[in-house]
Amino acid sequence: MLINYVWRRRLFFLVSLLNSIFVLNAQDTEARINLLLAKMTVDEKIGQLNQLPGDLMTGSEVGKEDLLAQIRSGRVGSVLSHTNFEQKIILQRAAVSESRLGIPLLFGFDVIHGYKTVFPIPLAQAASWDMRAIEEVERIAAREASADGQHWTFSPMVDVSRDPRWGRVMEGAGEDPYLSGKIAEARVRGFQGDDLGQSSTIAACAKHFAGYGFSEAGRDYNTVDMSEQRLREVVLPPFKAAAKVGVATFMNAFNTLNGVPASMNKYLITDILRGEWTWSGLVVSDWNSFGETIVHGAAADDVDAASKCLSAGSDMDMAGGTFQRGLKKALEGKRISMQQLDEAVRRVLRLKYSLGLFDNPFLYLDGERRLKELSQPVYRETARSIAASSMVLLKNQGKILPIRPAAGLKKKIAIVGPMADSKTNKDYMSFWTLGLGMQYYDSTQVVTPAEGLKPVLENMGYEVLVRPVCTAGDCDEKSYAMMIETAREADIIIACVGERGLDCGESKSVASLDLPRNQEGLLRLLGRFGKPVVMVLFNSRPMTFEWASENIPAILVAWQPGFETGNALADVLTGRVNPSGKLPMTFPRKVGQVPIYYNHLRTGRPQASFGMPFTSGYLDVSATPAYPFGHGLSYTEFQYSDITITKPTLEKGESLAASISVTNIGDRIGSEVIQCYTQDLTAEVARPVKELKRFLKITLNPGETKKIQLKISQEDLSYWDNELRFRVDPGKFKLFIGGSSEAVKEADFEVKSIKK
């Protein structure tokens, strides 16, 4: 007993010592910030809120005077999009040794799907539903970016969207707020680790706050107008998840939200983010979004825009100069107070302290570490693995996949299509691959589909025909005709189609989701030979291909897989890796169905079947999706038992406990994403037909069964009503568990009414 007591005392002393060290550290930082603030002139304070572009333009040029001169005069707090390592040292030296107060610079960069090693686009990674893998991707990206002098990434993008016309769906995690929230947490953990002071971790940034994914008509930067409920239920949850997991910064969105530009939206930034969520980090504008409040017509001039954005809670002006031009006059005109200005400056200085930059401004500018860190081929193995686990097998009629060994028969495989062997820059990637300069990420870094497949298929006994191949940008009838000739000789045809890398991302909205440049016409011609055709889609968004869906036996969504495209594709098509991806976004039949998403309301006249009159459907197409949220096939098969609910009637506040067994009834190992949805059958307002509440990715050997236990709290079942009360009502619910949002087992449960 005495020993226990002594150990308990020691433990208590240690914990309180650690706690007091932490508190002292924080107090010490605040004291140092106060001392520095007291020395700063108004111009130097405004300078800390000014972020200027480096040697890369990721937005329209806003006029760049001499960066070094501005840094020396204390008018720059941060530089973004600077790729040249040696110059970053020069810039930092100018800030630290040649400006009056020597405040170090913050270097920010878009590390969106890798820095030097290029991983699949974020939407592809979302299709893996593998949080550990996604966190590992960002750990590697942080190691590479930090070694190259970047302190801060403008990632994760956590904009939920239901509109594939919007080019930026590729940067997010799709249509579901719960999945987007879990991925946001994984990305922030990956970038920031446990200690921002480590030189291998970087500050993350939840963006774009908020509602950007709901731009009208899928047009980038367009108007966003939505109910408070949709904001609370769909848009905000991933941002809240990022805030709760400790993301260091937020970024404004370009759009207006219900008429108010996000950069000057006090309700969003001060009331919700800093108020309700008690988040106290740094908010940076998007590129010149402060200045664009004037273009929106919500501010009269720089003074007005600067006052409104700072007063709303925004702190740093990215590449706009609005604060530089307008904030001092706003202060003199008492539009803002010195206290408000100081608060914004504190948040900048606090971030710099947390990164260790005041103790060592060159902590991230170590040439030796850079050489070592930026030459780790092992990182490509991670890229290959997540690229394979992100691919989604939509269809496998007649089980023509995986491709089996030729077994002595002299068989031929043709690899054709505009995306079969493209050497066009950024193909299989996206614009957001900039870390070492645009020229680094040319096609020589990518293992193309043909390069990955050819050696592997030849080892399996096939003769592989890869000719002639145009690239997605320059295919014409002649090149298609030559592909047809090649395909005519083959026993199996692999047709690689889809979007070019530079047609994905920011300001890349489309009005049609069809395969571009008549690629479906090519598929129709290939389909005429009556041979097995495998369609491999390289895409950054859900696309429409109705004829192919009906006539091509095997369809694999490969997304934009990054550097290891060809190797990952070969792994999946030959069965070395059993596909396990599940769609994070619904694939429509036609673009006219957009927005189409799984967690929709029932309406008063749900479409029971196509063509039913007086129901919510279309004359010309079924209202159902081509491929639903959560869909994805495997080369094996998973069987689900019925759901067991421990206690189907819950007292108020009691959690639901359920279990289900899943068996791999096929002949090969495989991974399955078990998805758990609920439906609130009756509430104060209409509720979605399904809402994702839990998911789990498991691997099962052939014949293996696993019993999965799930717990869902009544907080998970709660919703926002019209008076903005967050509540759960007594009444009946449904629970759905399965391998997609449609292939599910279901069970009933209820929350008991409270006895009056």
Alpha helices for 245-373 (secondary structure H): 266, 292-296, 302-312, 322-332, 338-354, 367-373
| Sign of the dihedral through C-alpha 482, 483, 484, 487 | positive
| Sign of the dihedral through C-alpha 143, 148, 151, 155 | negative
Complex with ligand GLC: residue 255 or 560, whichever CB lies closer:
255
Complex with ligand GLC: residue 148 or 286, whichever CB lies closer:
286
What value, to the nearest 5°, has the Cα angle with vertex 559 and ends 558 and 565? 60
- Total residue length of the chain: 756
Q: Specify the DSSP element, H or E, that contains 166.
A: none
Q: Do residues 671 and 633 lie in contact, with contact meaning Cβ atoms separated by under 8 Å? A: no
Q: Is 498 left (phi over 0), alpha (psi -120 to 50) or beta?
A: left
Beta bridge mates, 688:
601
What pairing do the DSSP bridges indicate for beta strands 649-650 and 744-751?
Answer: parallel
| Phi, psi (deg, nearest 5) at residue 404 | -95, 160
Distance between CA atoms of 557 and 180, rounded to whole angstroms? 20
Residue 738 in tokens: 């399965």
Nearest to 283 by CA among 331, 234, 227, 242: 242
Catalytic residue among 110, 148, 159, 286: 286
Site of tokens 């820095």:
115
Q: Do residues 261 and 290 lie in contact, with contact meaning Cβ atoms separated by under 8 Å? A: no
Distance between CA atoms of 581 and 392, rounded to whole angstroms? 4
Distance between CA atoms of 10 and 547, rounded to whole angstroms? 72
292 CB-near residues (< 8 Å, 6+ apart): 254, 261, 263
286 tagged catalytic: yes
Distances (CA, A) of 172 to 183, 184, 637: 9, 9, 29
Residue 475 in tokens: 């295919």
Minimum separation from the CB atom of position 512 to ligand GLC (A): 24
313 CB-near residues (< 8 Å, 6+ apart): 266, 269, 270, 273, 274, 283
Residue 70 in tokens: 């501005």
Distance between CA atoms of 575 and 632, rounded to whole angstroms? 15
Nearest to 577 by CA among 93, 60, 130: 130
Cα dihedral 6/7/12/14 (nearest 10): 110
What value, to the nearest 5°, has the Cα angle with vertex 189 and ends 344 and 599? 95
Q: What residue ranges bind ligand GLC (CB under 6 A)?
A: 58-59, 80-81, 110, 154, 207, 286-287, 506
Active site amino acids = 286
